[in-house]
Amino acid sequence: MTKENLKKQILGGKIFIYPTDTIYGLGCNALIKESVNKIKKVKKRDFNKPLSVIAPSLKWIKKYCVVSKLNLKKYFPGPYTIILKKKNPKFLSHVNHGNTLGVRIPNHEFTKKIQKTGAPFITTSVNLSSKPSIKKISEVPEDIKNKVDFIIDYGLLSGKPSTLIINGKEVKR
């Protein structure tokens, strides 16, 4: 897939299974509510449970979230999800109904391709809710594979979910 075509597919709301620096994710353009809801259906996830996004840049995070004194460069790019307060609670309310947003910038070359779209991108593990994380495409249930538009296979990944950072502190999962 060309860079231009990938950007067009992401901006158009297509659903992807894709690699991160930790596990395989399920994602789409976070600005397209219908696509986000489709991901929740595919995962059999409670619609009120929040999702996180891959941020297009550190600048984007600072524009939409309250960063305070947190040094984002300490965590990004890397295997972290930082929970931040949204500047506007209504922003991406279909991603998280509350006043916070989980943000990531995985240390993976596919993330750079996502970021070039300029859009926030849903990042949630591709497994069904409460099932083990997925380290290789062959582990993805066929039922999920059949409901996505694109599968990006980068082979075996580490398999360890990202570390949560809440109020500047690491939280064990």
Summarize the confidence of residues 40-48 as an average pLDDT.
Answer: 87
pLDDT at 1 over 80: no
The full set of domain ranges for the chain reads 3-167
Q: What is the pLDDT of residue 173?
A: 65
For residue 86 the two structure tokens come to: 């949204």
> d(Cα 91, Cα 22) in Å, to the nearest integer?
27
Q: What is the CA radius of gyration of the chain?
A: 15
Q: Looking at the predicted structure, is the pLDDT value of residue 62 above 70?
A: yes
Kindly give the pairing relationship between strand 16-19 and strand 24-27. Answer: antiparallel
Over residues 28-32, mean pLDDT: 98
pLDDT tens per residue, range 3-17? 789 999 999 999 999
Tens of pLDDT, residues 127-148? 877 788 899 999 999 999 999 9
Write down the pLDDT at residue 100. Answer: 96
pLDDT surpasses 80 at 172: no
CATH topology of domain 3-167: DHBP synthase (3.90.870)
The predicted model scores a pTM of 0.95
Tens-digit pLDDT profile for residues 98-122: 999 999 999 999 999 999 999 999 9
